């Protein structure tokens, strides 16, 4: 399998999105495989999940590096050694250094449990409940140097019920995360897309809007990085 089909997943905790990606790869819904799971937290539950799935794991504790970039260079050395062409953040609780973002420019994805640009950062589901929005959801986006900020690849809405708590909303959003992240990875790996400014536009047969009957209007003015 070539580099584009090798995914490096970065986690800090539970790893349920990592598992959803692994299962989608195994079932050939995504033409790729997870080459390695890297955690900055030695106690991350996702490490055991990955091992159960037969996926190689690496622990790179961030506390052992003096700077963010020093840590990120260690992570990149592992990802590069495994030939990863795509890096997926899945509950990775670290900001990336500008060096890392440049090293994998246009090849880092993240999932966020809200409809960005609403509620970036920590506790997105709590923010949504407390703000009183009627709809929240999931965003899968490219990673740039700002937190939860890069171009959005796919979003999906999840209604907020009147009796929702942070936990009940998070649980319903998580179900949608597990569906959306593999779908977004498949679209990105498919390669039939461009960026027009911040706008992620699917251009080929994989066009999800095409499948739903509507065609994108206007032509993209910039190739993907």
Coil, helix or strand at residue 112: strand
Q: How many CB atoms lie within 10 A of CB 102?
A: 10
Which of 13, 210 has the CB closer to ligand GRF?
13
Q: Which phi and psi (to 5°) does residue 20 adopt?
A: -60, -40
Coil, helix or strand at residue 58: strand
Tell me which residues in 145-174 interact with ligand GRF (CB under 6 A): 174
Q: Are 16 and 24 in contact (CB under 8 A)?
A: no
Tell me which residues in 191-220 interact with ligand GRF (CB under 6 A): none
How far, in Å, CA of 155 to CA of 4, rounded?
Answer: 23
Contact segment (CB under 6 A) with ligand GRF among 73-81, 98-106, 111-119, 158-166 equals 111-119
| Contact between 123 and ligand GRF per CB under 6 A | no
Out of 91, 150, 151, 182, point to the residue binding ligand GRF (CB under 6 A). Answer: 91
Which of 49, 201 has the CB closer to ligand GRF?
49
| Contact between 112 and ligand GRF per CB under 6 A | yes
Residue of 62, 112, 131, 178 marked catalytic? 112
| Contact between 111 and ligand GRF per CB under 6 A | yes
The question of whether 141 is a catalytic residue gets the answer: no
Tell me which residues in 14-33 interact with ligand GRF (CB under 6 A): 14-17
Running DSSP on this structure, what letter comes out for residue 64? G
Q: Are 152 and 143 in contact (CB under 8 A)?
A: no
> Minimal distance in Å, beta carbon 205 to ligand GRF?
29
> Minimal distance in Å, beta carbon 49 to ligand GRF?
9
∠ Cα 184 196 84 (to 5°): 40
| Contact between 13 and ligand GRF per CB under 6 A | yes
Using CB under 6 A as the binding criterion, the count of chain residues that bind ligand GRF stands at 14
Site string for ligand GRF, 39-58 (x = CB under 6 A): -------x------------
First-residue to last-residue Cα distance in the chain: 22
Q: Are 9 and 21 in contact (CB under 8 A)?
A: yes
SS3 breakdown of the chain: % helix, strand, coil, rounded to 5?
35, 20, 40
> Residue numbers of the site for ligand GRF (CB under 6 A)?
11, 13-17, 46, 90-91, 111-113, 174, 177
């Amino acid at each position: 399998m070539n580099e584009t089909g090798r995914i490096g997943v970065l986690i800090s905790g539970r790893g349920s999105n990592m598992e959803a990606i692994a299962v989608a790869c195994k079932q050939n819904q995504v033409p790729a495989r997870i080459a390695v799971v890297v955690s900055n937290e030695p106690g991350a539950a996702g490490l055991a999940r990955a091992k159960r799935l037969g996926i190689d794991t690496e622990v790179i504790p961030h506390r052992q590096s003096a700077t963010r970039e020093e840590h990120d260079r260690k992570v990149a050395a592992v990802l590069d050694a495994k030939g990863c062409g795509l890096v997926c953040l899945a509950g990775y609780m670290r900001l990336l250094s500008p060096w890392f973002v440049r090293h994998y420019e246009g090849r880092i994805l993240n999932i966020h449990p809200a409809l960005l640009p609403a509620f970036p950062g920590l506790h997105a589901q709590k923010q949504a409940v407390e703000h009183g929005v009627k709809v929240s959801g999931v965003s899968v986006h490219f990673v740039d140097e700002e937190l939860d900020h890069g171009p959005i690849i796919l979003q999906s809405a999840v209604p907020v019920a009147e009796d929702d708590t942070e936990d009940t909303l998070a649980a319903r959003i998580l179900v949608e995360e597990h569906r959306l992240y593999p779908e977004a990875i498949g679209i990105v790996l498919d390669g039939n897309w461009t960026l027009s400014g911040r706008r992620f536009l699917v251009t080929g047969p994989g066009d999800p809007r095409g499948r739903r009957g509507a065609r994108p209007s206007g032509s993209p003015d910039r190739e993907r990085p």
